[in-house]
Amino acid sequence: MSRLRRAGGGLGQTAWPSATLLAVPLAFLVLFFYYPLVSMLAGGLSDSVGRFNLGRVLAILRDPYYRRIIGFTFEQAFLSTLLSLALGFPGAYLLARYEFAGKRVVRALSTVPFVLPSIILVLGFVRFFGNNGVLNRLLMGLLHLREPPLRVLYSFWAILLAHAFYNFPVAMRIISALWARLPPTLEEAARSLGAHGPRLFLRVTLPQLAPGVLASAALIYIFCFLSFAVVLVLGGGPRFTTLEVEIYRLAKVGLDLPAASALALIGALLSLLALFAYLRLQARAAFAEELELAPAGHRLSELLRRPLGFLVLLYLAFLVLVVLAPILTVVGYSLQGRAGWSVGGFSPAWYGRLLDPGEVYLRAIRNSLVFAGLTVILSVPLGTALAYLGSRRRTAGSSVLEPLLMLPLGVSTIILGLGYLQAYRALPWLGAAFGPLSGSGGWPAVVFAHTVIAYPFVVRAVSPVLRKIKPSLPEAARSLGAGSWQLFLRLELPLLKSALLTGAAFAFGISVGEINATLMLATPQLATMPIAVYRLIGSYNFVGASAMGTLLMLLCFLAFLVIDRMGKEL
């Protein structure tokens, strides 16, 4: 056993990766995440000559305009979270407790909004719910109205509905995964004592679901708090703006990096508190992985025959309408002829323009694919190495190590992009080599930012598999003379294959759809598909935006199919 400990280098079950190999990903994080983050924080906590000063932060906290922005950010995130839970809870119940034809399809549809880039969500909402959108035109035709009856866009409700649409699948999948594993014995015992209906749910079922409900709520809150594209487009201006949008405006429009850093410091502290709460709640909900799936003992047809069965049909119809309608609208508009539907009919003309080498759009497609490929190449080894570090080292500092490794989940990509701008300004040689401030290029900055954003999802995919590898397996391999690399390549790598594919799919999908940091960092020559969609929306070219958005959705769906095939929960 002493020989095993010496060979293992203190890493527990396996010696891979060695301390030397771990130094590489840790150095990457220090250089391309922690240093830019510290640079951003320093910019907000210093005066014009670089001395420590809280003046900028205090000035923001005293300013009624910024206090209103902070308060609105909290308000919209809280209400969006409640609405997402309300929409996701019935679906979680149906997926966990009932069997029905098409259940896998419903589960897949519930994931579609989550894997879509936010800019596609914005485009779908504009074309479906807009004043001249499909829904209003349909209602005007049916009710013989001259004015659109639903004026949703560019309002507070538009932000809440878009966030709920984008995030209710998180609640549905997390809660249903826990609900499906709850043993039915407690509910059966409660029924035998006379508890039924709401009383049974509130006193028996809901307390058992509380860890999953709270974990999903915390994660949704983080997503809504850090939302950018939805508020930027659907907010309709400064009346409905959040911290993320204001940071972007200060940095990119006003070119006031110190003020943007001070505001970003406040936003980062608030979002990190939410991340800490999520990690604690997720740890409480982790016991669900150790439970076996309870059989779904009822058919959905039985529920539909009950007095309130029509509510179930209404909910399922609502899911199809809310999830599929905006997506199908984007696809439909991408094929709209120049003369409109009534005369021009369908036309693939815009797809030809997107793929025309003489147009700028093909460059955006190529940029997205190259950035996504490089992100996969960097994030999979990085995430795997850090998953080893987090899952193998069982020390007193493990509770601190995990939040540090997962910190990018709680730092907005807008703040990350601002940190890059600050870091490259502080170290000109770094900016000349990697940054967007150099006269030409700057693509490494985009790739490194995408890698930092994507690697936590690789960690989340790989870590559970590593923890399930029994210590006896590597010990037996070592007793037969297997070295560290042999142990990894022949024993652990085959067991990790599914998790690595899942992590790679997540990294690809995240990179292809990322817009926030890219908008902060990329030069016009480095525009990606989401940025092209955003600019086409801004020029009111909805047909071109829909065509580019459809191609972007196709790439994201391919990544989703890999994730779903591997059977990984979000």
Task: Read off the DSSP letter of residue 322.
Answer: I
CATH number of the CATH domain containing 487: 1.10.3720.10
Mean pLDDT of 408-419: 81
Which residue, of 295, 330, 365, is where some domain finishes? 330
The residue with tokens 């070119």 is 255
Lowest mean pLDDT among 187-196, 397-406, 450-459, 482-491: 482-491
Inside any domain, residue 292: yes
Q: Which of 137, 128, 210 is nearest to 165 (CA)?
A: 128
Q: Are residues 305 and 356 in the same domain?
A: no
Percent of the chain with pLDDT over 70: 71
Q: Are residues 408 and 287 in the same domain?
A: no
Mean pLDDT of 471-478: 59
The pLDDT tens digits for 268-322 are 888 777 777 776 766 665 555 455 545 555 665 566 666 666 777 788 777 777 7
Mean pLDDT of 235-256: 81
Mean pLDDT of 492-500: 74
Is 90 exceeded by the pLDDT of residue 10?
no
Residue of higher predicted confidence among 480 and 264: 264
Q: Exposed (0-12), middle (13-18) or buried (19+): which is 471, by Cβ within 10 Å?
A: exposed
Other beta carbons within 10 angstroms of residue 320's beta carbon come to 12
Report the C-alpha gap between 567 and 570 in whole angstroms.
Answer: 10
CA angle 327, 330, 334 (to 5 degrees): 145
Q: Which of 150, 163, 152, 155 is nearest to 86 (CA)?
A: 163
Output the pLDDT for position 241.
Answer: 87
Q: What are phi and psi of 396, to 5 degrees?
A: -65, -25
Is 80 exceeded by the pLDDT of residue 17?
no
Inside any domain, residue 339: no
Which residue, of 301, 330, 359, is where some domain finishes? 330
Is 90 exceeded by the pLDDT of residue 567?
no
Q: Are residues 101 and 195 in the same domain?
A: yes
Report the C-alpha gap between 181 and 92 in whole angstroms.
Answer: 12
Output b/e per residue, 272-311; b: 16+ Cβ within 10 A: bebbebbbebbeebeebeeeeeeebeeebeebbeeeeeee
Residue of higher predicted confidence among 192 and 233: 233
Output the pLDDT for position 143.
Answer: 85
Helices 542-565, 529-538: crossing angle, 10 deg rounding? 150
Report the C-alpha gap between 270 and 326 in whole angstroms.
Answer: 32
Mean pLDDT of the chain: 76
Inside any domain, residue 53: no
* Beta strands 298-299 and 98-99, pairing class: parallel
Q: Which residues contact 565 (CB under 8 A, 6 or more apart)?
A: none
Structure tokens at 31: 């250089």
Report the C-alpha gap between 369 and 359 in whole angstroms.
Answer: 17
* pLDDT bucket at 565, cuts 50 / 70 / 90: low
Structure tokens at 432: 């000349």
Is 80 exceeded by the pLDDT of residue 27?
yes
Output the pLDDT for position 385.
Answer: 84
Inside any domain, residue 288: yes
The 8 Å CB, 24+ separation contacts for 363-368 are 363/525, 363/527, 364/527, 364/528, 364/529, 364/531, 364/532, 364/548, 365/529, 365/551, 367/443, 367/526, 367/527, 367/528, 367/529, 368/511, 368/512, 368/528, 368/529, 368/530, 368/552, 368/555
Mean pLDDT of 436-440: 41
* pLDDT bucket at 371, cuts 50 / 70 / 90: very high
Contact between 502 and 459 under an 8 Å Cβ cutoff? The reply is no
Report the C-alpha gap between 523 and 517 in whole angstroms.
Answer: 12
Cα–chain center distance at 236: 23
Q: Are residues 324 and 354 in the same domain?
A: no
Inside any domain, residue 337: no
* pLDDT bucket at 116, cuts 50 / 70 / 90: confident
The residue with tokens 């560019």 is 154
Output the pLDDT for position 367.
Answer: 93
Inside any domain, residue 270: yes
Output the pLDDT for position 79.
Answer: 94
Output the pLDDT for position 396.
Answer: 45
Structure tokens at 372: 């996504």
Cα–chain center distance at 211: 20
The pLDDT tens digits for 501-556 are 888 888 898 899 888 888 888 888 888 999 999 899 888 888 889 999 999 988 88
Q: Are residues 546 and 411 in the same domain?
A: yes
Q: Are residues 2 and 128 in the same domain?
A: no
Q: Are residues 100 and 175 in the same domain?
A: yes
Inside any domain, residue 126: yes
Q: What are phi and psi of 98, to 5 degrees?
A: -130, 150
- Structurally, how many domains does the chain consist of? 2
* pLDDT bucket at 377, cuts 50 / 70 / 90: very high
* pLDDT bucket at 14, cuts 50 / 70 / 90: very low
Contact between 159 and 230 under an 8 Å Cβ cutoff? The reply is yes
For the chain, helix (H) and strand (E) counts, in that order, are: 31, 2
Is 50 exceeded by the pLDDT of residue 407?
yes
List alpha helices for 180-205, DSSP H. Answer: 185-192, 197-200
Is 424 strand, coil or helix? helix
Q: Are residues 152 and 264 in the same domain?
A: yes
Output the pLDDT for position 81.
Answer: 93
Q: For residue 86, what are the domain limits? A: 74-330
Q: Are residues 371 and 223 in the same domain?
A: no
The pLDDT tens digits for 178-225 are 777 777 666 667 666 666 667 777 777 778 788 778 888 888 888 888
Q: Are residues 376 and 250 in the same domain?
A: no
Output the pLDDT for position 5.
Answer: 35
Q: Are residues 362 and 324 in the same domain?
A: no
Q: Are residues 149 and 292 in the same domain?
A: yes
Inside any domain, residue 403: yes
